[in-house]
Structure 1
């Protein structure tokens, strides 16, 4: 397993953190999750993965910072209106809030980050697939089918470069960029 990850993401602001926590409390009661939820300092929506490995070089970080420095994008709303477990082959699976109707601006920002990062690395022509915007609330063995929830809307007004210390539940936000 790699020790370091580097990605662009949207960190969930404090006010929304409280709303997500309240939402999770009702899910914990209903579904009986047994693990601890994602901590407020790590609650995020991933945008663009840059690196995973045993080492994280300063060159990778600097290229990512230069990428973020040139991005121009307007703030936008994201509405989470579904909850579900993403199934996988691991013993624990992510239970997420998903935002299917908010995919266009999220994927627009993701595309710009990917295109600029590829350009700075000299790998033009890289294809960037769209993602389903989501926030993982917990990793657990319990699987919950997709269902509608009371909509939870947040305004995305910044993105961040995050260094993940894999296996230690620790994130370092290396830099933030406002959307304007």
Structure 2
């Protein structure tokens, strides 16, 4: 019998318009590079911020501490821009085709540092990963592709979420959402 398992993580979701553009780009890249793989649907795209582990049941203590950490983050909205596509070599035979960026992700890296600092203060330092590579996974492919420029996809990040992923079911439960401060004030 298969046991149910969950992955808990913080993420940023794109707005509807950039999510649609991500879906179209994933399909174009899959076709252009003749990749075997299924591009994600628009509602599956996200920027992972911090993984908080895999579990066989909902880890309420971790969820509570993560919520406290998230509520303590005091950050302004910021823009993200992804302008390169490439692959991660996972050594598993399933290679994530991802969007990356450099200058357009500086504010995201700063926000990540604020979040992991808050997680450490709430006793969740065991999950903190300072080797953060911001990316959006578009699909899992059968082979690697070289890093190359693509049409930039940008949006203003206004909030972040705590997500419980049902592993193997392509389903998310949103456990919390925290707004960033509007920096136009």
Q: CA offsets, 1:13-40, max 9 Å, x none? A: 2111111112122212201232222232
Distance 2:121 2:138 in 1: 33
Structure 2 residues without counterparts, runs of 5 or longer: none
Tell me the SS of whatever aligns to 1:139: strand
TM-score normalized by structure 1? 0.90
Q: CA offsets, 1:81-124, max 9 Å, x none? A: 11001112102110001012233211221111111112112759
Q: CA offsets, 1:121-155, max 9 Å, x none? A: 2759x974142211000011132110111222111
Does structure 2 conserve the Cα–Cα contact (< 8 Å) formed by 1:103 and 1:131? no
Q: CA offsets, 1:48-94, max 9 Å, x none? A: 11122223321111111111111111111111111001112102110
Query: After the TM superposition, which of the residue ranges 6-15 and 28-37 deviates more from structure 2?
Result: 28-37
Tell me what 1:99 maps to. Answer: 101
Distance 2:124 2:45 in 1: 32
**Alignment coverage as a number of residue pairs:** 179
Check if 1:87 corresponds to 2:117: no
Tell me what 1:164 maps to. Answer: 165
Tell me what 1:133 maps to. Answer: 134
TM-score normalized by structure 2? 0.88
Check if 1:147 corresponds to 2:148: yes
Superposition RMSD in Å: 2.1
